[in-house]
Amino acid sequence: MTRIPELQYELVLAAGRRAAPRRRWAIGRRRWLAVALAALVVGGGAGAAGLAIHEGAPIKPAPAGDFEGRHHIVAPRPGTERIAATAPDPVSGPPWGLRVSRGKDGSLCVGAARVFKGRLGIYDATTRTFRALPLRGPDTCGVRVAPRTFGLFAALSSQVAGSPKILAPRDADMRLVVYGLVGSEVERLTAKGPGGAGAISISKEGGFVAVYPRAVFSDVTVTAHFRDGTTKTLGGRPLDRSNPTELARVAQSRVDYVGPPVARVDARRVLQIAIGCPADRRGRRCQGDVTLAAYGNGRTVRLGSHLIRIGAGASRPLHFRLTAHQAGLLRQSPRWRLQVRVILDPIAQQPIVRDLELVTSR
Amino acid sequence: VGEFANLSDAELLAATAGEAEAFGAFYERHEDAVLYFFLRRGATADLAADLTSETFAAALGAAHRFKAGGPPAIGWLYGIARNVLAMSRRRGAVESRARLRLGMEPVALTDESLEAIERLGSEAALTALGHLPPAQREAVEAYVLAEQGYPAIAESLRCSEMVVRQRVSRGLRELRTRLEGS
């Protein structure tokens, strides 16, 4: 452990960025070789990533009691999962992947994280340790795909280059992971982000995943091109802060916390947050970029972020998965503050940050 | 970082081009030495952190130019630290060009980091270290703070392993005497 872990982390990221142009060139020149190597990593080879990756203990699934029953949260059905799409990490380590499975209600469930030996998991770059994620907990069910479906999830992850040593990762330290499923009428996807414009591959199952370093969702736009020539774009444009209607709707948003008391938070649990956002007179819906952060003892722990689409009323509960380190830090904090950034659709997209204090019992 | 424990400084710098984490290991190995370099020259904890940040940013920018057979890495790093300090004094502000060139943001220090740096500066043994003759101090710093082995120190100081052992041994004896006296 260093005295300034934040500096060590910044330096590793900077070193990764310096190495990145050479890697991009290599991919351009030897695309098929790169694809084959990525497949090796996904399928079981460890050598493609350079030095060996260690396997830590798998993370235990969330308690079954957190699902179904009174919580009305659908859990994925074991044995139905597969890695539907992959994308390389822009800095280092195993690629990212989209895991798709079937929920017990027949809906699809999705989750995105690092992929190693065909399994989804978290990766600590400082110790080169991979820990497999369980199916029940991190993945979100309730996704239904129609021919013209174009929906996406965006997650800010600090696990990526991820050092659990970093107590308060900033946006710049994180990856933006954009993933989701599209219907059969979507012909192709294109994206514009900090690294320029490009295509996002769609797997035969309709899955996609793209990873951006040092980005937030408003930095990236993803466009679906439909077979009939129409397009639909998500992400991007700054919010008009001078429009009082938009601000008023943000102020009306409601947050319900349905997680365990702080004293009982541990890495096996999934925190669930529901966001309520009433439709305005024109029937527009909210779109929420929700970041869960915890403040306490002078520390900030950023736990994760979801992009969601909310109708009138409350959203489905969002799942925030904690690492053991984050859970340990939270237990030291008597108070949490949820940082909720709500943005509007279709006006989109620079979020307004609104802190909602959540006092939890010990 | 454990993966890199057996690599020399020169090997870590060479590996940085392909493995970003190698530079993280290099940083971890020399963080205390560089922080202390600045603390010993009167820097406060937050100033020492900024100067250390710029020093390692400059080292990262120049890592590909480091030659294994040339000057030792720790001496090379101290040379960068001296330049950063001199430039910062001349400008009246912490030099930041290397950090900006790399697109690194200023590090927001946590209370824990500041306390850890202050501890480094206030540890009595380290204060006493500043009073050792330069040759002994350099050897003890490399052995204790940078956790380098005798062969690596001998290579970096360009002397025999036996001489390094003697300098470390005498330096530590001198430190003990001073600390017991205080």
pTM, whole model, 2 decimals?
A: 0.42
Residues of A in contact with B21 (CB under 8 A): 12, 15, 92, 125-126, 128
Q: Is-contact A175 A90, C-beta < 8 A?
A: yes
Q: Which residues contact A21 (CB under 8 A, 6 or more apart)?
A: none
Residue A130 predicted with pLDDT over 80: yes
pLDDT digits (tens, 9 = 90+) for A173-209: 456 778 888 888 999 999 887 777 889 989 887 889 9
Least confident of A67-71, A172-176, A311-315, A318-322: A311-315
A18 near B CB under 8 A: yes
Please identify among residues 115-134 of chain B the ones whose CB lies closer than 8 Å to any CB of chain A.
116-117, 120
Residues of B in contact with A52 (CB under 8 A): 3
Q: Is-contact A109 A120, C-beta < 8 A?
A: no
Query: Helix (H, G, I), strand (E, B), or coil: what is residue A19?
Result: helix
Best B29, B80, B107 member to test A by mutation, with max A CBs in 10 Å, is B107
Residues of B in contact with A51 (CB under 8 A): 3, 19
Strand partners, A101: A109
Q: Cβ separation of A8 and B24 shorter than 8 Å?
A: yes
> Span A114-133, mean pLDDT?
80
* Cis bond before residue A349 (omega within 30° of 0): yes
Q: How confident is the model at residue A26 (pLDDT cuts 50, 70, 90)?
A: very low
- The complex's ipTM works out to 0.75
Provide the b/e sequence for B136-151 (b: ≥16 CB within 10 Å).
Answer: bbbbbbbbbbbebebe
Distances (CA, A) of A299 to A51, A109, A167, A186, A347: 33, 33, 7, 44, 34
Residue A123 predicted with pLDDT over 50: yes
Long-range pairs, B171-177, Cβ under 8 A, ≥24: B171/B129, B171/B132, B171/B136, B171/B137, B171/B139, B171/B140, B172/B140, B172/B144, B174/B132, B174/B136, B175/B125, B175/B128, B175/B129, B175/B132, B175/B140
Provide the b/e sequence for B17-45 (b: ≥16 CB within 10 Å).
Answer: eebbbbbbbbbbbbbbbbbbbbbbeebeb
Provide the b/e sequence for A59-92 (b: ≥16 CB within 10 Å).
Answer: bebbeeebbeeeeebbbbbeeebebbbbbbbbbb
Q: Which residue of A has its CA nearest to B112?
A: A3
At A39 the pLDDT is 30
Q: Which segment, A18-32, A317-331, B69-83, is predicted with the most confidence on average?
A: B69-83
Q: Cβ separation of B116 and A3 shorter than 8 Å?
A: yes
> Span A302-327, mean pLDDT?
51
pLDDT digits (tens, 9 = 90+) for B114-172: 788 888 876 656 667 777 888 888 888 777 666 677 888 888 788 898 899 899 888 87
